[in-house]
Structure 1
Amino acid sequence: MATPLKDFVPEESGSSLDPAGASPTKSGPGIARRHLLKTAMGAGLALTAGVSAPAVVRADAPVRIRLAWFPNSACLSPVAAAQHRGLFAKHGLEVEFVNLAGPTDQLLEALSTRKADASVGMALRWLKPLEQGFDVRLTTGTHGGCMRLLAAKSLGITRFQDLKGRTIAVSDQAGAAKHFFSVVLMKRGIDPARDIDWRQYPADLLPLAVEKGEAHAIAHQDPDTWRFLKRPDLIEVGNNLSDEYAHRVCCVLGIRGSLLREDRPTAARITRALLEAQDLTAAHPELTAESYAPYVANTSQEDIVALLKTHTHGEHALGDVLRQQIVQYTEELKLVSVIRPTTDAVKFAQKITEDVLV
């Protein structure tokens, strides 16, 4: 079971879009291994009050890092909260966002070539490139629950087993949603290669494919799938918290290997800040939604709050728990021919994960 991070109680914040205007945050001792959220990062750290003062005053200069992300992915909204609620600053980080809109391989290449220092993304999309040798290490899981499988309500599809012989629309044939639901179907006796017709469409046209009868279901991720559920012709069949996946993380924090080797304390700072942001999101999704809203189109703050409440931002996988979940995903991806059958899942998980908080 993933390790919960608890007891994060933020104070009232100032402007969500101005890091200098964010009020300080407080944290209890119960996060991860009890020392995760120690505020003493070094001499000179002090909390300040008032919306016009910086959240944290540090004696040392902040470390500048570049964080690559896909700003239209709602499950990454805690990244925006870490920036605009002062959590990066609290941990001595000055963060520049590298906004991406292309494939995940582009993100991992940015990390491994020093164009970015860290990123958060979907484990099921990262594992194949990491198997191929990208120099990135995973330091924590962040949350679960941002992929959904929707179906046409008129077809009476209510279980994964009802999808045999159907057509499922996806936005990426190598995407995490297709990988995940292929595994789910395989484990329920449906061969995703022979029994399912996967068709690719632009993300915003996925519902239209179902409406026109070109597809019977959609496998995709939030915030799009949450917005699609407002349509009267679609229902949710399942998601990546269904059944045995209730406590499995789906997204992970990746840090370039060279940074980890050269400056492990900074890797730990990044990890702590983003874990605090996850707990902030679990306890106060409205604050995260306010910080994130400027980055996403066609989704209201109310919808962001609602969908965040369906995720498990209060549960995280660290250390041995993270490695075990990577082992599980690796073995599952072998079932659908994504990971090589000869890959040793245990050794692979040990190679690509790093526990920076010990």
Structure 2
Amino acid sequence: MLGTHARSVRRAFFAAGILAAAVALAAPIGCGRNQNAAAPAPGEPTKVKVAYLGLTCEAPIFVAHEKGLFKEENLDVELVKTDWDGLREGLASGQFDANHTLIMYLLKAIEKNSDIKITGGIHTGCLRLQVGVKSEIKSPAELKGKKIGVPTHIGSPPYMFASRVLAANGIDPSQEAKQVTWLAFPPDALAKAIEDGRIDAVATSDPIGTILVGKGIVRTIADQATDAPYSEEYCCATVVSGQLVKKNPGAAAAVTRAMLKASKWVEANPKASAEMAVEKKYIAASAEINAQALSHLRYIPGVAKCQRSIESAAAEMKKAKLLNEATDPVALSKRAWVDLEGVTDERVLAMKVERIEGGGRPALLAPREFAALFDMRKLCCGCCCLGE
């Protein structure tokens, strides 16, 4: 019979599933090449298409649009909602000009020759590896021979993070090696699976990870936000279509600068950013839940650190067999990156953003208090790392 903890978490995950389904069903628009970012007449704004998924961590995209930061760069931006496959394919084809998303997700696509370029770091991560509260497992090194659950499907960002952690602890995470067993579950089934002992550990993203902790179901043994070297890396980065770089590098630089400045704005005003995203209907969540989730991330934009993040992620992805055996991580990192005019750490440091009264960082709720928000059947905020 389903326990009280599991029933409440299932209700929370059911809400999360509604959002995930909505994102997954959002059909990519068209398949032709976007011609909007061609050089305009002198003085006229450049038309640019920026894709988004409707996720909490995309706050800088929404802020740049609503607060006029794209306009400051003389850009006429159209925001286009898509899904994960549509995002990857749209950026590669030039249908979309820009976005910001997961570095690991981008590297896998670039390895497959997707014509996309990473241009700057946006925020730190929200991925975790967790075990049951009654488990005797104390560290990732003890997961050899164990069963690990992942949300949605094998290959999702939580799976990628967990694979990196295992490889760093001497465990071959590949399915062929059979040193661990990977099992995919619907997000709402993870709690019961770990309570029933069908899995020994779970790879999660926030808010799922915090909900499970708050419900007293799991404890964390690896955290992307706090554990080195992951805590020193960017989770998500600005990305532009390779075609935009070729035909209008100035526009590629401008859209990158706008999102980096917006990242700074979000860090200064997380509560205001969260409320705006809900009010403008970019996010299907309550403002309270969105503000709490957003405040767990750190938006400190940067350039050189982003390049180092790409190199580190590529090297560890190769070690974890998330990249092909023949792939050179250094060469892949160089192919993934492009330097753009005016996109520098000096320029980012010089960017000034306003501070909205009452819009700063709210007091973070304890995991149990945060989890309780979902008992009120409010729709989950989602996360950039929930699934691929």
Q: Same fold (TM over 0.5)?
A: yes
Distance apart, 1:118 and its partner CA = 0.9
The 2-side partners of 1:162 and 1:296 are apart by: 38
Structure 2 partner of 1:101: 83
Q: Report deviation, 1:102.
A: 4.0
Matched, 1:85 2:96: no
Q: Which amino acid aligns with 1:95?
A: V
Cα distance in 2 for partners of 1:109, 1:183 equals 25
Kindly indicate whether the alpha-carbon contact (under 8 Å) linking 2:128 and 2:209 is maintained by their aligned counterparts in 1: yes
Partner of 1:213: 197
Correspondence list, 1:101-120, <5 A: 101-103=83-85, 106-120=86-100
Residue 142 of structure 1 aligns to a residue whose secondary structure is strand
Aligned-pair CA distance for 1:340: 2.5
User: Which structure has more strand as a fraction of its residues?
Assistant: 1
Q: TM-score, normalised to structure 1's length? A: 0.75
- Higher helix proportion: 2
Residues 75 and 146, structure 1, Cα contact 8 Å, conserved in 2: no
Partner of 1:280: 265
Distance in 1 (CA, whole Å) between partners of 2:97 and 2:182 is 34
1:188-337 alignment runs, 5 A limit: 188-193=169-174, 194-241=178-225, 242-293=227-278, 294-297=281-284, 299-316=285-302, 318=303, 320-337=304-321
Q: Which residue of 2 aligns with 1:42?
A: none
| Residue 132 to residue 80, structure 1, CA distance change in 2 (3 Å) | same
Residues 88 and 203 of structure 1, relative CA distance in 2, 3 Å threshold? farther
For the Cα contact (< 8 Å) 2:128–2:203, is it kept in 1? yes
Alignment gaps of 5+ in structure 2: 1-41, 343-388
C-alpha displacement at 1:188, in angstroms? 1.2
Identify the range of structure 1 (277-286 vs 144-153) with the bigger mean alpha-carbon deviation: 144-153
Alpha-carbon distance between aligned partners in 2 of 1:166 and 1:296, rounded to the nearest angstrom: 36
Cα deviation, residue 157, structure 1: 4.1
Deviation of 1:236 after TM superposition, in Å, equals 2.8
Structure 1: state its 5+ residue gaps: 1-58
2:120 to 140, 146, 149: 140
Q: Which secondary structure does the structure 2 equivalent of 1:95 belong to?
A: strand
Query: How far 1:210 sits from its partner (Å)?
Result: 2.4
**Pick from 138, 144, 151: which aligns with 2:131?**
151
Equivalent position of 2:158 in the other structure: 177
TM-score by length of 2: 0.69
Match 1:123 to one of 82, 103, 110 = 103
- What is the CA distance between 1:100 and its match in structure 2? 2.5
Supply the distance in 1 between the matched residues of 2:283 and 2:212 (Cα, whole angstroms).
15
Q: Is the 8 A contact 2:130 2:203 kept in 1?
A: yes
Query: Is the CA contact (8 Å cut-off) linking 1:68 and 1:118 kept in structure 2?
Result: yes
SS of equivalent residue, structure 1 residue 355: coil
2:146 is aligned, of 137, 157, 166, to 166
**Separation in 1 of the partners of 2:341 and 2:206?**
30
Whether the aligned pair in 2 keeps the contact of 1:145 and 1:310 (CA below 8 Å) is no
Maintained 8 Å contact 1:81/1:287: no
**1:333 partner amino acid:** M
Match of 2:326 among 314, 330, 342: 342
What is the Cα deviation at residue 285 of structure 1? 0.8
Structure 2 Cα separation of the partners of residues 151 and 286 of structure 1: 31
**Given that residues 223 and 304 in structure 1 are in contact (C-alpha distance below 8 angstroms), is that contact kept between their aligned partners in structure 2?**
no
Higher relative contact order (CA 8 A, sep 6+): 2
Change (3 A) 1:136 1:161: same
Identity %: 28
